[in-house]
Amino acid sequence: MTVYESIIQLLDNHNIKYRALSHEPTPTCEDSARVRGTSSDQGAKALVCYADKQPIMIVLPCSRKLDPKLFKSLFGVKDLRFATPDEVIQLTSLSVGAIPPLGHLFGLPTYVDAELAKNQTIAFNAGDRTKSVIMAYSDYVPLSQNHNSSHTFSQPK
């Protein structure tokens, strides 16, 4: 089963309403927002990182960037770095840009930035740069199994 199929099965098993889209390949989250017809604030960007040498997933709105100092301070992390493209493939079997914001699918603890909660809906690439899912943020939160979505650890680009 592909990651996309796993996501669809997860959503269906929880009776969650969503819209699945197929579209041209999108290398950036801004491109994804354009082809989906959504704002970049609604786009959920999944970053695979290492926090104190442990792999994690950090989820931010597409319109924002990670504030590493703030993240480290909030979560008591000493060393934080982005995973390399090869590490991303090793951890998720997916290329950068295709990763859905559901770290538990890959055994990754997930941290969701509170800025995403400002939108009623979120949109994300679903395991493939040509497939997206749009769903209610309120349905996403319990599925994300995140550690804490009450903190903002991003900043405007």
CATH of residue 113:
3.90.960.10
pLDDT-based confidence at 79, cuts 50/70/90? Answer: very high
Instruction: Collect all residues with Cβ–Cβ distance below 8 Å to 74 and sequence separation of at least 6.
Output: 151, 153
| Residue 36: predicted pLDDT | 94
Strands, E assignment, 14-103: 18-22, 44-51, 54-61, 64-66, 80-82
| Residue 157: predicted pLDDT | 87
| Residue 44: predicted pLDDT | 96
Is it the case that residue 56 has pLDDT exceeding 80? yes
Mean pLDDT confidence for 119-146: 94
- The DSSP symbol for 118 reads G
Is it the case that residue 66 has pLDDT exceeding 90? yes
Range of the domain at 18: 3-156
In whole numbers, what is the pLDDT of the chain averaged over residues?
Answer: 95
Alpha helices in 14-126 (DSSP H): 29-36, 68-75, 85-92
Question: Which of 27, 36, 5 lies closest to 129 in space, CA to CA?
Answer: 27
The pTM for the full model equals 0.95
Strand order in the sheet with 80-82: 80-82, 44-51, 54-61, 110-112
| Residue 93: predicted pLDDT | 96
Give the pairing of strands 110-112 and 154-156. unpaired
Count structural domains, the chain.
1
| Residue 29: predicted pLDDT | 87
**Phi, psi (degrees; rounded to nearest 5) at 150:** -95, 0
pLDDT in tens, 2-28: 999 999 999 999 999 999 999 999 888
Quote the CA–CA distance of 88 and 99 in Å, as a whole number: 9
| Residue 39: predicted pLDDT | 93
